[in-house]
Amino acid sequence: MDIVVKNLTKKYGNQRAVDDISFEVRTGEVLGFLGPNGAGKTTTMKAITSFLRPDAGSILVGEYSAITQADEVKRVIGYLPEHNSLYTDMPVIDYLKFVAELQGIDKSRIPDRILEMVDVCGLEGEKHKKIGELSKGYQQRVGLAQALIHDPEVLILDEPTTGLDPNQIVEIRELIKKIGREKTVILSSHILAEVEATCDRIMIINKGKIVADGTDEELKKHAQGKEIIRVSVEGVDRNEFIPVVQELQTVDSVDPVDSEEDNSNSFEITSHLDMSSRKAIFQQCVEKGWILTEMTLIVTKLEDVFHDLTMN
């Protein structure tokens, strides 16, 4: 089931939490929302679940409008909110039954669905405990179980792995990927590695606007553009090295690394767009008799892309 968001705007007072954003998510796609705190990720998600009414714009989930057909949209969406607030005085099983009934699952299928969710989310040992007695990680699993219980076409997860231990995180990521093959999934996170590992497509939001949208390779390529290499040399003074390298046709700029220490001879060399300086530098070193001790291609990490786009 596709999600189409058009010109979505949501204001809190005078502040635009989400400012005229448009995007689409297709069936079988896992979309990761990245963004600093307060960027508008949660607001966008809440608008899609029709919990929040946007000030402007339209949201279509499949053929249903999240604004005028809230009930239909809520039936096809499984939602895990950021502050996963569950009824702490209810036992896990009772809570799942309550949600299953609200979602209109056929009475005869409810016990099977609950057992399946308990199994999938690893709640076997805790199913009769009250939710308030569970640890944060287990509560998060209950949150996931309630989101998945009606086998929704669309899954919206706001920071799904907070509070989970590393093993659980791996399990949940696998689960999300598996679901993502057939269903539409939107998840938000501030853990970049998580988004890289689970999402087919990444969207970075800052101050209510989309600042980047694409696969992680596309984003990195887009941010990188120029080749940057790290070079260390011996047997040459820095003041001698820089002008020579700077003269090379392919080189855009040379920056010494650790500039406080005078005897350091490491440099970051940026090439012009679509050019490589690696051969030329090597040949230069050979000619001058400098000893090249390091030459590393610096790969842009998603962290850098994120930092560049959101720090202005």
Partner 1 sequence: MRQIWIICKRELNSFFDSLMAYVMLIAFLGFSGFFTWIYVADVFFIGQASLQVFFGISYWTLFFFIPALTMGQLAEENRSGTIELLLTKPVDNMQVVIGKFLSTLILISLALAFTLPYYITIANIGPVDHGAVISGYIGLILLSASYISIGIFASSVSKNQIVGFLLALFIGILFQWVFGTVATSISGFFGELFNFLSLQTHFDSISRGVIDSKDIIYFLSIIVFGLVASSTIMAKRNN
CB of 252 to partner 1, least distance (A): 50
Over the window 166 to 205, marking each residue x when it contacts partner 1 by CB under 8 A and - when it does not, the resulting string is ----------------------------------------
State CA 260 to chain mean position distance.
Answer: 36
Q: Is 79 in the site for partner 1 (CB under 8 A)?
A: yes
Closest CA to 111 of 149, 76, 54, 61: 149
Encode burial over 102-115: b for 16+ CB neighbours within 10 A, e otherwise: ebebeeeebeebbe
Near partner 1 by CB under 8 A, which window of 86-94, 207-215, 226-234, 267-275? 86-94
18-47 binders of partner 1 (CB under 8 A): 46
Q: Is 101 in the site for partner 1 (CB under 8 A)?
A: yes
Near partner 1 by CB under 8 A, which window of 71-79, 192-200, 216-224, 296-304? 71-79
- CA distances for 201 relative to 10, 30, 139, 142, 206, angstroms: 24, 6, 28, 27, 17
Residue 139, SS3 per DSSP: helix
CB of 43 to partner 1, least distance (A): 12
Is 239 within 8 Å of 195 (Cβ atoms)? no
Q: Is 70 in the site for partner 1 (CB under 8 A)?
A: yes
Angle between helices 216-224 and 302-311 (to 10 degrees): 60
Residue 28 or 38: the one with the smaller Cβ distance to partner 1 is: 38
Chain contacts with partner 1 (rule: CB under 8 A): 46, 49-53, 70-71, 74-75, 77, 79, 81, 83-90, 94, 98-99, 101-104, 146
